[in-house]
Amino acid sequence: MSSPLIAIRNEGYAHLLANYLTSQQMPAHVAPYSEDGEYLVILEQESHLATARNICEEFVRQPQHPKYQQAAWENGERVNLHPSKSSNLNLASLLKWAKDAPFTATILAVCTLVYVLSILGFFGTVGQLLKMEPFSQLGQNHEYWRLITPAFLHFSAVHFIFNVLWWSMLGAQIERKLGMSMLLMLFLVSALSSNVAQAIVSGPAFGGLSGVVYAVLGFVWWTGWLKPAWGLFIPRSIVGFMLVWLVLGYADVLWVSMANTAHTVGLISGCAMAALLALGSNRKKAR
């Protein structure tokens, strides 16, 4: 016999809880509950009621824990915690997003400005200011910002959109959970290390945010694995896709030239920073 369990206003959270209960061998489903927009999570077998209520209490305390989203992905259901409405994509929502993740928004704005100037015919001027130069030349002119700024250069619409979308999603997640300082440090370390490594291997003719994108990917991936309580999470399917894309770059079967070294070094730097952060946290707890 089924039993009502809990009423939740957000439909996404209701489905998240129902998926998790089902993954724990306690089948549950969601049904509309009231005209106020509440949704009822219904347990299908009353014999599980006591255990299910304990899970509900835990869910109410920490509904964004990665294990709930993981259960949804494993069940093949994509759960949207913030249902889209026709008015959601407007200036107010974009400003709120930028306020919540200001450094993520700043890098997005800089990349967008550089790309817009490039397609308007100013690529030569912008490129001269931001591109990497041979290390011998940097040693003479001391324009060391060029070790970072190639990250802002993009050479096609696909290149630009791919990078800024991943940066916006993963960067904002890191900034909201761990703060602007952590994301700033990750950006600087990954941009510097990936750009320098790419220049050593193939010379200064490259650009793009891809090294940083692979760094934030690796950081979220390893932090979610080592410290799931911190709330950073990325589906394993996305990690797999990005790793396959990395391998295809080395196989040289794609229609574009890939900065493979920058991607690899960026990924390694992100994973390493996540591991160091988790290790540091463990040592603090041990004290």
Which residues lie closer than 8 Å to 7 by C-beta, 6 or more apart? 33, 34, 38, 39, 40, 41
Helices 210-226 and 180-202, axial angle in degrees (round to 10): 130
- Rounded to whole angstroms, the Cα distance separating 99 from 128 reads 32
148: which DSSP letter? Answer: T
**Which member of 190, 193, 210, 269 is catalytic?**
210
- Of the candidates 15, 48, 154, 263, the residue annotated as catalytic is 263
| E strand or H helix that includes residue 176 | helix 172-178
Task: Give catalytic status of residue 210 as yes or no.
Answer: yes
Rounded to whole angstroms, what are the CA distances from 266 to 35, 94, 193, 206, 271? 49, 28, 7, 15, 9
Catalytic residue list contains 263:
yes
Give the bridge partners for 8, in sequence order. Answer: 39
Contact criterion met (CB below 8 Å) for 41 and 18: yes
Residues 6+ apart with CB under 8 A from 279: none
Half-sphere exposure of 248 (CA within 13 A, CB side): 11
Give catalytic residues, as residue numbers: 210, 263
